[in-house]
Structure 1
Amino acid sequence: MRAFLALTLPDDIRRSLAVLQQELAHSGADIKWVEPQNLHVTLKFLGEVTDEQRRAVERLLGEAARGETAFTPYHGGRPARQGGEEWRGRPEGSFQRPRPLGRGTGFTLGLDRVGAFPSIASPRVVWVGLGEGKERAVRIAERIEESCGSLGLPKEDRSFAAHVTLGRVRTPRRQAELARALRECAWRAPAPWPVTALTLYQSVLSSRGPNYTVLAEVPLTR
């Protein structure tokens, strides 16, 4: 199954972002917009995972949420076997020292400005960046990235860029108009909201686009 780790957005935040999508759509650019119900902040795209890897990731999420600590399993100086087999039982000395992510509580997250990758002048992915709480989200994503490597999951070769993807540009049609719309956008970010959980999603691709299903949701608050 295809899976990813994310921060879920409240319904009112998704509605606000849907308004922004509609505003930018007036540019006439050829964009495949993310369905509002699918908008989220990706922490780690896992790709294809086995059931064993999924269970290991769920356990990792549990450790991360209880004190927001990411553990890297090892056995005899070597990484744990693929699938996180060495997680079972937690024998004495079977984990490296924990890497703290924070205080083990929820935090406040806010949105910032609209932008595009690789640039507004040549947009391929339209996004909204994070504002308040961005550093905390980045720290969580980085620690998850470190720990997922021990489960045999691919490592990202780029640094984590905290954002919400709004849409992907399919062709250069009316690219200049889209760039102008991004620069002159009148949208204002809604008020920050409390983040209280980490979520593991399954992604099933279809002709209409991806469908997301929650596999696990681990509270950040104790």
Structure 2
Amino acid sequence: MSQIRAFLAIDLDDDLKPKINKIIKEFKQIDTRIKYVELANLHLTLKFFGEIDTAGLELLEEKIAKVVSEFKPFNVKIKSCGAFPNNNHIKVIWVGIEDDSIIKDLHDKLDNEFTKLGFDKDKKFSTHLTIGRMKSAKNKNQVKSTIEEFSDVEIGEMTVNNIVLKKSTLKPSGPIYEDLIVFEL
């Protein structure tokens, strides 16, 4: 039996990527080590499965399709910039979602189904798009002030029409994502 590294995601609309790229360019001007997410890979993770057996993909697909059938396409507003765990101890730089109630509802219903398949329930779920991971504390105050500068940035709106089960292959140059199954809302 083979295994793959997989996750479930909402992809970012292509027309919003240049706006996020402008924010990334501001961070790139700071002399520090941040590993940025490739624009093509920007997404909102609904569930990270880790290594899963390909033999179980059909069961996973059934659970996802069942939940997705309860949802219609919906709009989300991409807004704000912040850090995890917080602006004083920066590990992850993210862009947020303004009203995430539908996404949280979708996540919770999916998570409930996934626990029936033996996956752990998510202890913390936060709707965000990771744009970078801070690798060094060098010039942390500049990074913090740039995050604060973009704390209310408005990126734009997008319609969520589907969610995607993705395969992630880790390479030294960064992860390569491959769409396995697209679930239309």
TM-score (structure 2 length as normaliser):
0.93
State how far apart, in whole Å, the 1-side matches of 2:13 and 2:143 are: 27
CA-CA distance at 1:187 after TM superposition: 7.7
Q: CA RMSD in A?
A: 1.5
Match of 1:140 in 2: 106
Is the CA contact 2:79–2:97 (under 8 Å) kept in the aligned structure 1?
yes
Which residue identity is paired with 1:106? P
Is the CA contact 1:20–1:187 (under 8 Å) kept in the aligned structure 2?
no
Q: Could you say what secondary structure the match of 1:29 adopts?
A: coil
Write the deviation string for residues 7-37 of structure 1: whole angstroms up to 9, x where unpaired: 1111111222111111122122210000110
Aligned sequence identity (%): 27
The question of 1:195 aligning with 2:160 is answered yes
Match of 1:164 in 2: 129
Match of 1:15 in 2: 18
Which residue identity is paired with 1:26? Q
Higher normalized strand content (fraction of residues): 2
199, 204, 207: which one pairs with 2:169?
Answer: 204
Write the deviation string for residues 27-70 of structure 1: whole angstroms up to 9, x where unpaired: 22210000110000000001111112222111112111222xxx
Is the CA contact 1:203–1:212 (under 8 Å) kept in the aligned structure 2?
yes
Write the deviation string for residues 153-200 of structure 1: whole angstroms up to 9, x where unpaired: 2332x2211100011011111111111111123883232111110110
Runs of 4+ in 1 over 4 A off after TM superposition: none
The question of 1:28 aligning with 2:37 is answered no
Is the CA contact 2:79–2:156 (under 8 Å) kept in the aligned structure 1?
no
Is the CA contact 1:122–1:179 (under 8 Å) kept in the aligned structure 2?
no
Match of 1:151 in 2: 117
- Structure 1 residue runs of 5 or longer lacking an equivalent are 68-103
Match of 1:130 in 2: 97
Which residue identity is paired with 1:60? K
State how far apart, in whole Å, the 2-side matches of 1:14 and 1:61 are: 27
46, 60, 63: which one pairs with 1:60?
Answer: 63
163, 182, 185: which one pairs with 1:217?
Answer: 182
Larger Rg: 1
Match of 1:98 in 2: none
- Structure 2 residue runs of 5 or longer lacking an equivalent are none
State how far apart, in whole Å, the 2-side matches of 1:65 and 1:15 are: 29
Q: Could you say what secondary structure the match of 2:104 adopts?
A: helix
Which residue identity is paired with 1:115? G
Match of 2:45 in 1: 42
Aligned residues: 182
TM-score (structure 1 length as normaliser):
0.78
State how far apart, in whole Å, the 2-side matches of 1:151 and 1:52 are: 13
